[in-house]
Each structure stands twice: as C-alpha cells, then as structure tokens.
Amino acid sequence: MKLIYFSLILTAISLLIGSIMLLNLVPRILTIGTLAIVAFLIISLFTINKYAVLKYILLILAILAIIISSSSKAHIQAFREFGQSLYITTLDILMILGFYVGPILYIVALFRDNLKK
C-alpha cells in the first residue's frame, strides 16, 4: 500500500475511534468537526489522484493538525495524564496516531513522491 494512502487511513481511523470515545465528553461541535474531517479524508482516498490540488489541501491540513494539537491545552493535559488509566492512554495513543504520526507520514510521502518526479 502506498504510504500516502496508509497515512490517510491511519489518520481517519484514529480520529474516528477517538471521536467516538469522546462523544459525550467534548462539545458536540468538536465531534461534528472531527467527523467531517474523517469523511473528507475517506473521500480523499478515492479522489486524490484525480485532483492534484487535493494533495496540497491535505498537506495544509496535516500541518495544521500538528500545530493545533501541539498548542491545544486539552491535548497537552492529556499527554500529562498518559498512563493514568487505560481509557486516557488509549485516547492519547489515538491522538498521537491521528494528529502526529498520520500527518507526518503524509507529509513525508508527499515530499518523497514529488522528489521522485
């Protein structure tokens, strides 16, 4: 599987599971926004080769995910609570996968693909 697809799938699944786990614990607008992003990522899987601009929109979203997550007080607090319970640890792992690992893999894959051309 191409790394670019793997990164989108990893991010979408991590965000989806995390949003389900936090369904009644965070404001509904955050859940709706996360589910919209998940839907966009899934649609992107099927259309990324048809629309070149989509790769760059996803690049911007990947960069924003890293910046916003690393500056979010809630995410920083969640990192501090890592290991305190299975629930929090699971959410932290999903956060790392969805907001850092997936986006970084996407950025690396996009640059690698563009350098090959």
Q: For 5-52, what is each residue's pLDDT tens digit?
A: 999 999 999 999 999 999 999 999 999 999 999 999 999 999 998 998
Q: For 74-99, what is each residue's pLDDT tens digit?
A: 889 988 998 899 999 999 999 999 99
pLDDT at 104: 97
Say what the pTM is. Answer: 0.90
pLDDT at 5: 95
Instruction: Provide the number of structural domains found in the chain.
Output: 1
Residue type, 22: L
Domain span holding position 13: 3-116
Yes or no: say if 109 and 7 are a contact pair by the CB < 8 Å rule.
Answer: yes
Q: Is the pLDDT of residue 1 over 70?
A: no
pLDDT, average across residues 90-116? 93
pLDDT at 20: 95
Q: Is the pLDDT of residue 66 over 90?
A: yes
